[in-house]
Structure 1
Amino acid sequence: MTERLIPGDVAPNFTLKDQSGNDVSLSDFSGRKTIVYFYPAASTPGCTKEACDFRDTLGSLQAAGYEVVGVSPDPVKALAKFAEEELLTFPLLSDEDHAVAETYGAWGEKKNYGRTYMGLIRSTVVVDPDGTVSLAQYNVRATGHVAKLRRDLKLDK
């Protein structure tokens, strides 16, 4: 497992394909606060709940100066279907070889139903306009995560 990021770290740059097949880089968001969230699989119940929570609060997040980017090991085609079915308007990025997840500490050992395997760890990293990490959360729960993140970012007073 790779090292997890902590506040003050420089967020590793990346370039991945989005749900439309376009290249999207972290550097595209330079000068803006960016929420990069990692989720295990498009169109699964937990990941759908989390994505829809981001969708439903996207306007208020953007009004507070935040952009949202989702990253999963799904292929572009699966992300396109997910975005269309759930009306997701923020970038969903395909990290099929999980290289970006590894550099962000979001890939590692998981345990489920007594089985141990390597997989994506549901995580969220908030990147400041200067490219440094301001918040890094690992092993987050899908349900309620966006509300907790908003509280942690002091967006809900």
Structure 2
Amino acid sequence: MLKVGDPLPEFEGLNQDGNIIKSSKLTGKKLIVFFYPQANTPTCTVEACNLSDNYSKLKKAGFRLLGVSADSVKKQKNFHSKFAFPYDLIADENRDIVEKFGVWQQKTTFGKTYMGIVRTTFIFDENMICTRVIEKVTSKTAATQILEN
């Protein structure tokens, strides 16, 4: 998994509108990249909405925000439109980005073991160096977790 001190991995992906987002174009502002397992599921919705509800605070603190899951552009578009998120969601269907960040891992739910995205938030400074990794994301207070440091 990506750790504090690591640079932002080079990547490009399609956002909810099918536009290309390149990591090389994200410099100059602090950046939050949050990974969530699946669009429009209860816990992921709570997290994304918490970040949306607190977007002005995050923006005021100098952050740009980017959500990533392995969903299709269509699913990301539906999720984005349904809740009018003020930030981009990347559709990482081939799992290129989730692999680079190291969040595609073995998970166990109700005794069933499978591979999936581990809910994780990465924070980068203006130079795109990772300053913090939040591995135990609390969906209801995701923005507070980010702003508390």
| Partner deviation per Cα, 1:68-103 (whole Å, 9 max, x = no partner) | 000000000011111111111200001111111111
For the residues of structure 1 that align with 2:143 and 2:132, how far apart are their CA atoms?
A: 13
1:69 corresponds in structure 2 to 66
Aligned to 2:57: 60
Is 2:14 the partner of 1:33?
no
| Aligned position for 1:145 | 142
Amino acid at match of 2:10: N
Structure 1 segments of 4+ aligned residues over 3 angstroms from their partners: none
Summarize the alignment of residues 3-152 of structure 1 with structure 2, pairs less than 5 Å apart. Answer: 4-151=1-148
Deviation at 1:139, TM superposition (A): 4.3
- Find the aligned partners of 1:106 and 1:141 in 2 and give their Cα distance: 16
Q: Which moved more, 1:38-47 or 1:141-150?
A: 141-150
RMSD of aligned C-alpha atoms?
A: 1.1
Aligned residues: 149
**Overall identity of the aligned pairs, in %:** 34
TM-score by length of 1: 0.91
Q: Which runs of 5+ in 2 are unaligned?
A: none
TM-score (norm 2): 0.95
